[in-house]
Structure 1
Amino acid sequence: MRCAALTASCISTFPVGGDPQRARWTLWRRGSYTPVEMNILRSVRRWSLFVLASLAGLSAGLSSCSEGTPVAPEGAILRISAFPTQIGKVGRSTVTVSAYRSTGNPVNPGTEVRFSSTLGSIDPVAYTSDSGQATAVLQGTGRVGTATVTAFSGGIEPITLDIAIGELAASMSLQVTPSSIAETGGTLDLLALVRDAVSQPLAGAQVNFRSEVGTLASGGRFITTDADGEARDTLTVTAADLQLIGDDNFEVTAEVGGAGGSIISRSFSVGIQRPPQAAFTFQRAGLVVTFNDTSTGSPTSWLWDFGDGTPTSNQQNPVHAYSDAGTYVVTLTARNSIGTSSASNLVQITN
């Protein structure tokens, strides 16, 4: 528009329907001028000078238009800041980029700076002031997390700044129900409770559940906490999944973003209910023997037969005194909710 207006101003300097140069030539041919004709000559001269000046301005204006929007020159330095650096879910933060030449002087006014953000919305383009500063506004759109704002101009290396959007988590607890699962598989309910800095339930937080085995109903996507600060997921585990686990438990984890870009993580160890495999060791000291249960499969009860006709014991690691030397068959029976297993060893007693 600036170029169009400049062109129009140049054209408007010519008299409508007249030709200044032709009028001047006609009067020169006559050799004498009336007062009116002298005024015409003076007007023609003024018009001619004005037209020349206008054309010079038009040329400069058109040259400026052809250069395009200026960007930061090579070697320029960009610095970025924001206030505030933490906003509500629909809050606003003013992001300022200061652009300087390598000499330390501000770049030209009107230099273009482009912005983008990983969260929320931000003005895509801003232009520097006389002091070399360009400002854009980051607007929260209801999502909670950390917005990484990127700014650049021309071929200058982009710069970034993190701005927290929404209240961030200060603590989290994780519950898994039931706390153990049969080796044939099953379903577990996962519950994460997120709280803010004053221990109140935090709504709108993004929680991510993970598990060593099985399939999550969420598919690993983020789950947003409700008004009670709760995020829920379901884990389905098959027998084939559990065959990959050598131990008697596996880990379930929940993560949520905390202040300063930190991650709050909580884990829960889920027991695998396998049938017990009874086993034990023993140490002799004369007629006294100390028995140690080494069964696998997390047995919940034990029954010891010491092989000498004395009453049995249901302790996990009993100590038994024999009355006579000899060889005895000792049997341990281990049980849990899945099954029962027995193991026997010969114990030789000497005086």
Structure 2
Amino acid sequence: MLKREFIVLTFLLFISVSFSFGQNIVFSENFSGTTIPSSFLLIKNDTGTVSPDVSDFTDPWIIIDIGSSRMAASTSWYTDNGNGVPQSDNWMITPKMSISQLATVKWDARALDPQFPDGYELWVLDGVGITNPTAADFLNNGSMVFSVQDPPAGTGESSTWISRSIDLFNFGFSNTDVFIAWRNNSTDKYILAVDNIEVIDYFNIDSRLSSIISPTANSCKLETSESITVEIQNLGTDPLTSVPVSYSLDLGAPITETATFSPALNTFETGTYTFTNPIDLSMDELYSLDCWTELNADGNIRNDSLVKIIGSADTVVLDAMDYTTGFELFDFSDLKSWAWTFDNLDGGGDGFGIFEANFAKNGSFVLSANSNTLQSENDWAYSTCVRLTAGIPYSINYYHRTGVLSNGDPIQENFQIGIGNNPDTMGMIVLGSDSVASQDYERYAVSFQPATTDIYYVGINRTTDPSAGPGSPFLYIIDDFKIEDLVAPTAAFSVIVGSQDSSVSITNNSLGDGNSYLWEWGDGDTSILASPDFYQYGDTGFYQVCLTASNFAGSDQTCQTIKIEAVTLPQADFISSLNGLEITVTDDSKGSVNSWAWDFGDGTTAVGPGPIVHTYTEMEAFEVCLTVSNIKGSDTHCDTIVLTSIEDIITENNRLKIYPNPANDEFYLSLELPFMESLTIEFIDIKGRRIYSELIQVLGKHHTMYDCSKLEAGLYTIRVHSNKGYYSEGKVVIF
């Protein structure tokens, strides 16, 4: 199976040391690094050369990525060496490990291409006296304990992940040191992948302390004589009839008794035992309860003990103080943070807990629920007990946020909050339900006014459905939880009157928890939405907008008078400026405008108020039109734009002037342009030769003196032209 990556949080409310059924994991490797671990020995025992298509396989076994998972892989896709494609012989050998009497090796494997399924073998070598085994050591002195032949002799390994398991004791490997090797010996196939290797020891005698059933992890009020009940599980192969079991409270003197079972506990069966000696948990504090078994010849002592942190919490009386917690487990000024209980009703093996996390809003701990990613969530967290007084309104509030998807988007988490007389779902009254999808902490609040004075528990229920959105839900985080007296709200809002129509934009700025709202628009209509965003009036005039905010503690009202003015048909107009083939237009319409549509007369259009720059391709006359619109209708204004050539401009009204003419020592050239242009000035003699040229920038009037004292007498042409090909010219006589 593919590996998955999870955020790991340190859970501190309930600490246990336990292992899977009657086993000790001797060796484990899931190949999460970028290279095969250096503790492995890799041997290429063939002379083949890998195909260029799998050139990444520079070693007999390498790490490859498929999606978000990494795994060990070997290839048998070799090039033809002239005598056909050689058989691969690639070995991946574990470090030496010590196993007990009953050891099993487990791994996952697959062939990446079902058309070219790889075969392979699993070899085991007694490691006594051997440091660096060779392929020959395995072939001569080891045992092949598993094999899958590649086609045509066999079917090759499965193209989907398959879990394999071999009992080493069936091959004579018990109570010794061993090396275990995966050998890819396929011929001209593709890629073999191996992952999640485990070597596990099992035991004949193994008693597991699986649970401390009572006292509960925390309680509203524990007594001076609380019984201890534990659950014991047989994880060995031999039946259990009696097990010595002990406990110690706050590291005090141990109390040892013997739990007897009739009939005997067979493998995997459980039994409960209640100590005859009770304990005193009446003080308002945290207790540490250690329980353990002491069975002689127990093959696995690592699962023999449990530690349970027990909170004996006195009732919080809300009339005397607020209840507030940041879930700081080891800060006793953080009132009753440890006195929360949790219930996982979806059976997914996860749920709420108090965790140490670097993303706490304040402090170092949060209340958080991880996702099981398999099914709809139904996880509950229950507060410590609080005494609430009938008729007094209370605010229940906290800050929450979510985790993120692989693409960085926040996950949407659904939840509801309730209150009841017991820390369970029976009789829990739902006060509110909502969803949150934010990496930033957001405040959430509900209000409650009890009908009777009693003990209450607040319940937070995470109800996220993994199928409701992209990816799997992952993390719901809560911090800074508080139950306090509810304060009457303060009503406040801001309003912006629309300039384009008869609507108003509304923002609710009221203060207070658990509020309900009533909007009165002044025209007879009302709304009970918390944030209506906008309201559309049907007519002009003055209106008094009022907001009433209410909760169990009282109500408050505030009003504002607004003026809705008539919206008239706009009058289209615009201003324009020319620069050669380029025109710049800007809206100059009268009245309110919602949209602008431009038509430049050459098939080109544009939208927006401008300035908008458009460039024509020809010197012609074009009709430029602007259409403006609002809710009352539209209006269009057009202007005819005449694009004039430089030749026309310069010659118009004799704008190109040469004087004095005739000239002797010097003459002046004068011209005027209404726009910026780059011009070339040339002197051409009577034989058509260009005897002088310069480039100038002209905008407005241009006046230049030219020295002609060294020119031969005669008739000269003064030519002025632009880089677009337009030109004008004049004559001057030099004597």
So what's the TM-score if we normalise by structure 1? 0.32
So what's the TM-score if we normalise by structure 2? 0.18
**Bigger fraction of residues in strand:** 2
For CA contacts below 8 A with separation 6 or more, give which structure has more relative contact order.
1
